[in-house]
Amino acid sequence: MVITNAAETQDYDRMAELRAFDESKLCVKGLVDLNSPSIPRFFVHPPESRVIPTIGPRPAPLIRTVDLSAPHDIVAAQIHQAASSCGFFYLINHGIDSNLLQATIDSVKAFNEQQHAEKAPYYRRDQTTGVAFASNFDLYQTKAASWRDTLQVILGPVSVDPGSVPEPCRAPLLEGAEEATRVAETLMGGFRVRL
């Protein structure tokens, strides 16, 4: 992929630059590793899509907390209150080991730090395969691409073949999926009580 400062050219072909980036399978991390002197133009948001800051601070919304160590009836009430007001909540005492959470974060970092050739086999736009790695899954639909790379591993309701999960992430993601299922079942039990 040739990275040019497209802002300086009159005949910019956005689609050609998108295709070149996509076909390179470099992702954002690959661009950074190249020490490119410029950012491809499709990452630059046009003025009309930039967020204009509002005047004055807005009050922060109240995000409720659900404590899974509380008695079941209290957990059910907390879930009901959170779902009825804000629609989401902060979950504490869920029982997922903090070491597993940290191992999961570290494993995804390890995947992203691999050489391009090691990550490229996972690069795909098709998100239905169970495992997909791409810079922007909506690359061809947005006015400007986001400066991020995403590794998506679908672990439920039907889990992917464990062998298809990148090796650096495999053990913590599969163990984390089991733990997340346990927490989800607990939460669904709390929702059912208040229906």
- pTM tops 0.85: no
Domain 61-193 has what CATH class?
Answer: mainly beta
DSSP 8-state assignment for residue 193: H
Domain boundaries, the chain: 61-193
Is there a contact between 15 and 6 (Cβ–Cβ < 8 Å)?
Answer: no
pLDDT exceeds cutoff 90 at 90: yes
Is there a contact between 82 and 68 (Cβ–Cβ < 8 Å)?
Answer: no
* Span of 2-16, 20-34, 93-107, 148-162 with lowest mean pLDDT: 2-16
- Angle in degrees, CA 7, 13, 14, rounded to 5: 80
> What is the overall mean pLDDT for the chain?
89
